[in-house]
Amino acid sequence: MSDRVPVLIAGAGLSGLSTAVFLGLHGVPALVVERHASTSVQPKARGQQPHVMETMRLAGIDEQFVAASPKSRGFVLRIVESAAGPVFREILHDTYLKLDHLTPARSADASQASAERILLARARELGGEVRFATTLESFEQDEHGVRALLRDSGGTREIRADHLVGADGVRSPVRETAGIGTHGRGTLGHTILWLVRADLRHVVGERQVMYYMQNPRLSGGTGVLASTDAPDEFLVGVGYDPERESLADFTPDRALEQIRLIAGAPDLRAEILNADTTVASVRVADRFSAGRVHLVGDAAHTMPPQGGMGGNTAMMDGFHLAWKLAAVLRGEAGPGLLASHDEERRPIGELIAENQYRNAVVRNAPEWAEPDQEPPIEEPGLLLFGHRHPGAVVREPDDDGEVLEEPTRPTGRPGSRAPHVWLSTPDGRVSTIDHFGRGFVLLTESQSWAEAARDVAADLGVRLTPLLLGDDLTGDWTKPYGVTPEGASLIRPDFVIAWRSPGPGTRADLKAALTKILSR
């Protein structure tokens, strides 16, 4: 007899643990298996942009991310010859984006190691089970679910799951077993990374730094220096050609030479704590779903690190997938709702992967530039809050399905993010965003629309509540949402506008819209 779980997640990185957290918020316990013995012990990707922090607010752990952020005096991102200079270009001088006009959330700068620990604890609090040192050996699926074989130190065990989420990284055995290919620019370059303990205050001060080096004296002509959670520890990397050399060729003396070139300090004393290799690539899965198998994070899209959106996008994959899985598992939605995971998240994955490639060209590899190479998108508001999800919505006739929409000029169209608008209450102000995330919400000033929402929720058996603005809850919301005071806007659990009625309508209109969105 095999055990049965609603959702089996392969991989306990940022994407897998985020998916487990958001499933837990929707009342669905997940089983997460991870082949490693623990969460990441390396700093890896760091930083949580405001759109991710909105979701962490919903999960109740945003303050933990802020607390895990280094207490430094600012952040600087530069293209340089060495940490000591000269500086070719300064790209950022503050990691905490000021986007108060778009969101009530702030940024954080926790490392991947810290982020995974926070997510792990919250996933378990919400009923998820996470097993380390456990490998997904094989799986097969049919119309009834997924049968998976797990292996740990005690042997093998069979698990039956309704759905399997592949969050198992770049090489993703889940993706390969599901028969999903990839496309994209492929492998871009190889890097050797050292975790180094050294006193670099004379060149970086007390700031968090990310320096990209362009220096012909470095291996591969490129390098990187990045702060970690510890003020005297840094990630230092250089390019190399795996066809001609390996990690073993970088002896302690050669490694120290490269580290000193990056620091711009010929007499630097440095202790190498760890050495590893990494590969930069641009690959996107051809499909993000295949039957009952769904991909998130690096299993779905890999990209160079330049731009800092890889980890953020991985976490958002889980946020947008979890409510759909929960709705199907609760019987509120038909299985067709899950087809929108590919329709909505793949174009975003492709856009961000390509944009990070363009960043890599500018920051590290100008020789990769093509004659008609477009510059990267550098407007943070557009990249964070401009993504559209026009799959599980009622699209309007003039909607051409574009991937981005300028969030400073919101249209309120289905598929776009519900705009942040401050609302006044007797106890102070709150954001519209703070009312979303647990189920569908119908935003309206109309009592008749509010009554229609209650009726439709009862008829369809779905989590739909009205947010009725009036005497004690007021705000200038109608223009950003593209409706009149007699209208209504239906918001999905992932902050996406699913449907709207610019003016008065009927209960039947709302029911028909929700039935379509949920593929019933």
> Which residue numbers are catalytic?
212
- Comparing CA positions, the residue from 36, 37, 49, 40 lying closest to residue 14 is 40
3-state secondary structure 167-196: CCCCCCHHHHHCCCCEEEEEEEEEEEEEEE
* Count of alpha carbons within 13 angstroms of residue 134, beta-carbon side: 21
Q: Residue 488 and residue 464: Cα distance in Å, rounded?
A: 13
The H or E element spanning position 322 is helix 310-329
Contact 151, 101 (CB under 8 A): no
> DSSP label at 346?
H
Question: What phi-psi label fits residue 237: left (phi over 0), alpha (psi between -120 and 50 degrees) or beta?
Answer: beta
Contact 405, 411 (CB under 8 A): yes
Q: Residue 268 and residue 199: Cα distance in Å, rounded?
A: 8
Largest CA distance in the chain: 76
- Comparing CA positions, the residue from 328, 344, 437, 457 lying closest to residue 28 is 328
Q: How far is CA 427 from CA 313, 329, 421, 424, in A?
A: 35, 37, 16, 8
Q: What is the CA radius of gyration of the chain?
A: 24
Contact 385, 416 (CB under 8 A): no
Q: Residue 62 and residue 67: Cα distance in Å, rounded?
A: 9
Two tokens, residue 339: 């087809």
Residues 468-483, buried b or exposed e (16+ Cβ, 10 A)?
bbeeeeebebbebbbb
Q: What is the DSSP string of 282-296?
A: EEEES-SEETTEEE-
Q: Residue 502 and residue 509: Cα distance in Å, rounded?
A: 12
Bridge-based pairing state of the strands 182-198 and 208-214: unpaired
Q: Residue 228 and residue 210: Cα distance in Å, rounded?
A: 10
- Other C-beta atoms closer than 10 Å to the C-beta of 438 total 14
Indicate if the alpha-carbon torsion angle 436, 439, 444, 447 is positive or negative.
negative
